[in-house]
Amino acid sequence: MRKKIVAANWKMNKTFADGLQLIDEILNTTPVNNNVIKIIAPPFIHLAAIADKLKSKEGFAVAAQNCHHLKSGAFTGEVSAEMIASTGAEYVIIGHSERRMYFGETSSLLAQKVNITLANNLTPIFCLGEMIEDRNANLHLEKVKQQLKEGLFHLSPSDFSKLIIAYEPVWAIGTGVTATTHQAQGMHNFIRSEINKKYGKNISENTILLYGGSCNAENAKDLFACLDVDGGLVGGASLKANDFVAIANSF
Ligand code: PGA
Protein backbone atom coordinates (compact mmCIF):
# COMPACT_ATOMS: atom_id res chain seq x y z
CA MET A 1 0.00 0.00 0.00
CA ARG A 2 1.45 3.35 -1.02
CA LYS A 3 1.26 6.12 1.56
CA LYS A 4 -1.17 8.97 0.95
CA ILE A 5 0.49 12.37 0.99
CA VAL A 6 -0.65 15.96 0.72
CA ALA A 7 2.17 18.48 0.54
CA ALA A 8 1.75 22.22 1.05
CA ASN A 9 4.06 24.32 -1.13
CA TRP A 10 3.91 27.79 0.40
CA LYS A 11 6.31 29.19 -2.22
CA MET A 12 7.43 32.74 -1.31
CA ASN A 13 4.49 33.49 0.97
CA LYS A 14 3.99 34.09 4.71
CA THR A 15 6.14 36.08 7.09
CA PHE A 16 7.68 34.12 9.93
CA ALA A 17 4.83 35.03 12.31
CA ASP A 18 2.12 34.37 9.71
CA GLY A 19 3.68 31.01 8.89
CA LEU A 20 3.66 29.87 12.51
CA GLN A 21 0.09 31.08 12.85
CA LEU A 22 -0.97 29.04 9.82
CA ILE A 23 0.57 25.94 11.39
CA ASP A 24 -1.42 26.57 14.57
CA GLU A 25 -4.57 26.98 12.53
CA ILE A 26 -3.93 23.73 10.67
CA LEU A 27 -3.34 21.90 13.94
CA ASN A 28 -6.55 23.36 15.35
CA THR A 29 -8.62 22.41 12.34
CA THR A 30 -10.18 19.02 12.89
CA PRO A 31 -10.67 16.32 11.92
CA VAL A 32 -7.29 15.60 10.44
CA ASN A 33 -6.80 12.19 8.93
CA ASN A 34 -3.68 10.74 10.54
CA ASN A 35 -3.28 8.18 7.77
CA VAL A 36 -2.52 10.96 5.33
CA ILE A 37 0.96 12.41 5.66
CA LYS A 38 0.79 16.17 5.58
CA ILE A 39 4.05 17.76 4.47
CA ILE A 40 4.54 21.47 4.95
CA ALA A 41 7.06 23.19 2.65
CA PRO A 42 7.57 26.73 3.95
CA PRO A 43 10.36 29.13 2.98
CA PHE A 44 13.79 28.25 4.43
CA ILE A 45 13.62 30.72 7.30
CA HIS A 46 10.56 28.95 8.76
CA LEU A 47 11.96 25.43 8.56
CA ALA A 48 13.47 24.94 12.01
CA ALA A 49 10.59 26.53 13.90
CA ILE A 50 7.93 24.62 11.98
CA ALA A 51 9.84 21.35 12.21
CA ASP A 52 10.00 21.92 15.95
CA LYS A 53 6.28 22.65 16.20
CA LEU A 54 5.33 19.55 14.19
CA LYS A 55 7.89 17.15 15.60
CA SER A 56 5.55 15.34 17.95
CA LYS A 57 2.48 15.67 15.72
CA GLU A 58 1.50 12.41 14.11
CA GLY A 59 1.10 12.53 10.35
CA PHE A 60 3.03 15.76 9.80
CA ALA A 61 6.43 16.39 8.23
CA VAL A 62 8.38 19.34 6.86
CA ALA A 63 10.01 19.98 3.49
CA ALA A 64 12.31 22.60 2.02
CA GLN A 65 11.35 24.00 -1.38
CA ASN A 66 14.84 23.75 -2.82
CA CYS A 67 18.47 23.11 -1.90
CA HIS A 68 21.89 23.75 -3.35
CA HIS A 69 23.47 20.94 -5.34
CA LEU A 70 26.84 20.99 -3.54
CA LYS A 71 27.82 20.09 -0.01
CA SER A 72 29.03 23.46 1.32
CA GLY A 73 31.24 26.40 0.50
CA ALA A 74 31.38 29.92 -0.85
CA PHE A 75 27.89 30.17 -2.34
CA THR A 76 26.45 33.32 -0.81
CA GLY A 77 22.73 33.12 -0.21
CA GLU A 78 22.41 29.37 -0.73
CA VAL A 79 21.19 26.61 1.59
CA SER A 80 22.61 23.09 1.63
CA ALA A 81 20.85 19.76 2.06
CA GLU A 82 22.84 19.15 5.23
CA MET A 83 21.55 22.42 6.71
CA ILE A 84 17.99 21.46 5.80
CA ALA A 85 18.39 18.08 7.48
CA SER A 86 19.75 19.80 10.59
CA THR A 87 16.46 21.68 11.05
CA GLY A 88 14.43 18.49 11.36
CA ALA A 89 12.96 18.75 7.87
CA GLU A 90 12.73 15.40 6.09
CA TYR A 91 11.85 16.25 2.48
CA VAL A 92 13.07 18.59 -0.26
CA ILE A 93 11.05 19.71 -3.28
CA ILE A 94 13.35 19.53 -6.29
CA GLY A 95 12.77 20.72 -9.83
CA HIS A 96 9.60 22.70 -9.34
CA SER A 97 8.70 24.29 -12.67
CA GLU A 98 9.20 27.74 -11.14
CA ARG A 99 12.81 26.77 -10.34
CA ARG A 100 13.27 25.38 -13.84
CA MET A 101 11.70 28.46 -15.47
CA TYR A 102 12.77 31.44 -13.35
CA PHE A 103 16.09 30.17 -12.03
CA GLY A 104 17.26 28.27 -15.08
CA GLU A 105 17.57 24.94 -13.31
CA THR A 106 18.48 22.25 -15.80
CA SER A 107 17.93 18.51 -15.62
CA SER A 108 21.60 17.86 -14.93
CA LEU A 109 21.61 20.33 -12.04
CA LEU A 110 18.43 18.74 -10.68
CA ALA A 111 20.01 15.30 -10.86
CA GLN A 112 22.79 16.62 -8.62
CA LYS A 113 20.25 18.09 -6.21
CA VAL A 114 18.51 14.72 -6.03
CA ASN A 115 21.82 13.06 -5.23
CA ILE A 116 22.82 15.43 -2.44
CA THR A 117 19.32 15.28 -0.96
CA LEU A 118 19.43 11.50 -0.78
CA ALA A 119 23.00 11.60 0.56
CA ASN A 120 21.66 13.61 3.50
CA ASN A 121 18.86 11.14 4.17
CA LEU A 122 16.23 13.57 2.93
CA THR A 123 13.45 12.50 0.61
CA PRO A 124 13.28 14.33 -2.72
CA ILE A 125 9.87 15.34 -3.99
CA PHE A 126 10.86 15.56 -7.63
CA CYS A 127 8.60 17.71 -9.79
CA LEU A 128 8.07 17.29 -13.48
CA GLY A 129 5.44 18.25 -16.02
CA GLU A 130 4.89 19.57 -19.50
CA MET A 131 4.20 23.08 -20.79
CA ILE A 132 0.96 23.82 -22.60
CA GLU A 133 2.83 23.90 -25.94
CA ASP A 134 4.01 20.34 -25.32
CA ARG A 135 0.49 19.13 -24.59
CA ASN A 136 -1.00 20.93 -27.57
CA ALA A 137 1.62 19.34 -29.79
CA ASN A 138 0.93 15.96 -28.19
CA LEU A 139 4.49 15.87 -26.87
CA HIS A 140 3.58 15.73 -23.16
CA LEU A 141 4.46 12.08 -22.65
CA GLU A 142 7.77 12.52 -24.42
CA LYS A 143 8.59 15.60 -22.35
CA VAL A 144 7.87 13.92 -19.02
CA LYS A 145 9.75 10.81 -20.08
CA GLN A 146 12.79 12.97 -20.79
CA GLN A 147 12.52 14.72 -17.40
CA LEU A 148 12.33 11.34 -15.66
CA LYS A 149 15.30 10.02 -17.57
CA GLU A 150 17.53 13.08 -17.12
CA GLY A 151 16.63 13.88 -13.52
CA LEU A 152 16.12 10.48 -11.91
CA PHE A 153 17.01 7.44 -13.98
CA HIS A 154 20.69 7.62 -13.05
CA LEU A 155 19.73 6.47 -9.54
CA SER A 156 20.30 2.98 -8.21
CA PRO A 157 17.10 1.01 -7.57
CA SER A 158 17.52 1.43 -3.82
CA ASP A 159 17.89 5.21 -4.09
CA PHE A 160 15.08 5.52 -6.61
CA SER A 161 12.75 3.65 -4.29
CA LYS A 162 13.15 6.38 -1.64
CA LEU A 163 11.81 9.33 -3.62
CA ILE A 164 8.45 10.87 -4.38
CA ILE A 165 7.44 12.24 -7.77
CA ALA A 166 5.02 15.13 -8.30
CA TYR A 167 3.44 15.49 -11.73
CA GLU A 168 2.65 19.16 -12.18
CA PRO A 169 1.52 20.21 -15.64
CA VAL A 170 2.91 23.74 -15.92
CA TRP A 171 -0.33 25.01 -17.47
CA ALA A 172 -2.22 24.00 -14.32
CA ILE A 173 0.06 25.66 -11.76
CA GLY A 174 -1.51 28.74 -10.22
CA THR A 175 -3.91 29.09 -13.14
CA GLY A 176 -7.11 27.68 -11.68
CA VAL A 177 -7.14 25.19 -14.57
CA THR A 178 -6.77 21.70 -13.15
CA ALA A 179 -5.88 18.63 -15.15
CA THR A 180 -8.94 16.45 -15.67
CA THR A 181 -8.91 13.16 -13.82
CA HIS A 182 -8.42 11.53 -17.22
CA GLN A 183 -5.30 13.64 -17.91
CA ALA A 184 -3.91 13.18 -14.39
CA GLN A 185 -4.49 9.44 -14.27
CA GLY A 186 -3.19 9.05 -17.84
CA MET A 187 0.09 10.75 -17.02
CA HIS A 188 0.51 9.05 -13.66
CA ASN A 189 -0.06 5.70 -15.27
CA PHE A 190 2.48 6.58 -17.96
CA ILE A 191 5.06 7.61 -15.33
CA ARG A 192 4.49 4.38 -13.43
CA SER A 193 4.92 2.36 -16.61
CA GLU A 194 8.20 4.13 -17.42
CA ILE A 195 9.43 3.38 -13.89
CA ASN A 196 8.37 -0.21 -14.38
CA LYS A 197 10.43 -0.45 -17.59
CA LYS A 198 13.50 0.95 -15.85
CA TYR A 199 13.26 -0.44 -12.29
CA GLY A 200 10.66 -3.21 -12.44
CA LYS A 201 7.21 -3.81 -11.09
CA ASN A 202 7.93 -3.79 -7.38
CA ILE A 203 9.52 -0.33 -7.39
CA SER A 204 7.01 1.13 -9.85
CA GLU A 205 4.07 -0.12 -7.80
CA ASN A 206 5.54 1.41 -4.66
CA THR A 207 6.55 4.83 -6.02
CA ILE A 208 4.41 7.61 -4.60
CA LEU A 209 3.07 9.90 -7.34
CA LEU A 210 1.51 13.23 -6.38
CA TYR A 211 -0.53 15.50 -8.62
CA GLY A 212 -0.03 19.27 -8.50
CA GLY A 213 -1.63 22.18 -10.31
CA SER A 214 -4.64 24.09 -9.01
CA CYS A 215 -5.55 21.27 -6.69
CA ASN A 216 -8.22 22.51 -4.27
CA ALA A 217 -10.84 21.39 -1.77
CA GLU A 218 -13.39 20.92 -4.58
CA ASN A 219 -11.37 18.86 -7.04
CA ALA A 220 -9.06 16.92 -4.69
CA LYS A 221 -11.54 14.11 -4.03
CA ASP A 222 -11.86 13.17 -7.70
CA LEU A 223 -8.14 13.54 -8.38
CA PHE A 224 -7.14 11.45 -5.36
CA ALA A 225 -9.63 8.76 -6.36
CA CYS A 226 -7.55 8.06 -9.49
CA LEU A 227 -5.78 4.72 -9.30
CA ASP A 228 -2.26 6.09 -9.75
CA VAL A 229 -2.65 9.39 -7.89
CA ASP A 230 -1.35 9.07 -4.33
CA GLY A 231 -1.97 12.63 -3.21
CA GLY A 232 -1.21 16.20 -4.09
CA LEU A 233 1.33 18.99 -4.09
CA VAL A 234 -0.74 22.05 -3.33
CA GLY A 235 0.26 25.68 -3.77
CA GLY A 236 -2.36 28.40 -3.47
CA ALA A 237 -4.94 26.33 -1.60
CA SER A 238 -2.39 25.33 1.02
CA LEU A 239 -2.18 28.88 2.36
CA LYS A 240 -5.53 28.58 4.13
CA ALA A 241 -5.84 26.11 6.99
CA ASN A 242 -9.41 25.08 6.20
CA ASP A 243 -8.68 24.43 2.55
CA PHE A 244 -5.48 22.52 3.22
CA VAL A 245 -7.08 20.31 5.84
CA ALA A 246 -10.09 19.73 3.57
CA ILE A 247 -7.73 18.60 0.80
CA ALA A 248 -5.88 16.30 3.21
CA ASN A 249 -9.24 14.86 4.23
CA SER A 250 -10.28 14.23 0.62
CA PHE A 251 -9.05 10.64 0.43
P1 PGA B 1 -1.01 25.64 -7.23
O2 PGA B 1 0.55 25.31 -7.16
O3 PGA B 1 -1.71 24.64 -6.36
O4 PGA B 1 -1.14 27.05 -6.72
O5 PGA B 1 -1.42 25.50 -8.67
C6 PGA B 1 1.01 23.99 -7.13
C7 PGA B 1 2.51 23.96 -7.12
O8 PGA B 1 3.11 24.83 -7.79
O9 PGA B 1 3.15 23.14 -6.46
Domain boundaries, the chain: 4-248
pTM for this predicted structure = 0.98
Q: If you measure from the C-alpha of residue 189 to the centroid of ligand 1, how many angstroms do you get, rounded to a whole number? A: 21
Closest C-alpha to ligand 1, atom 9: 235
- Dist. CA 62–CA 76, nearest whole Å: 24
Of 101, 215, 219, 243, best ligand 1 pocket probe by most atoms within 8 Å of the beta carbon: 215
Contact of 112 with 67, CB cutoff 8 Å: no
Determine which residue's CA is closest to atom 1 belonging to ligand 1. 235
Closest CA to 236 of 179, 174, 171: 174
- Ligand 1 centroid to Cα of residue 35, in Å, is 23
Contacts of residues 15-21 at CB distance under 8 Å and 24 or more positions apart, as own/partner, are 16/45, 16/46, 16/49, 19/43, 19/46, 19/49, 19/50, 20/46, 20/49, 20/50, 20/53
For helices 107-119 and 140-151, the axis angle rounded to 10 degrees is: 50
48-85 exposure pattern, b = at least 16 Cβ within 10 A, e = fewer: bbbbebbeeeeebbbbbbbbbbeeeeeeeeebbbbbbb
Query: Which of ligand 1's atoms lies nearest the C-alpha of 236?
Result: 4
Backbone angles phi, psi at 115, to 5 degrees: -60, -45
Contacts of 100 (CB under 8 A, 6+ apart): 106, 110
Measuring from atom 6 of ligand 1, which residue has the nearest CA?
Answer: 235
Return the pLDDT at 212.
Answer: 98
Low-confidence ranges of the chain (pLDDT < 50): none
- Between CA 128 and CA 93 the distance in angstroms is 11
Which atom of ligand 1 lies nearest, measured to the CA of 174? Answer: 5
Third-level CATH fold of 4-248: TIM Barrel (3.20.20)
Nearest C-alpha neighbor of 234 from the set 32, 40, 61 = 40
Residues enclosing ligand 1, CB less than 6 A? 9, 168, 173-174, 212-215, 233-237
pLDDT at 31: 66
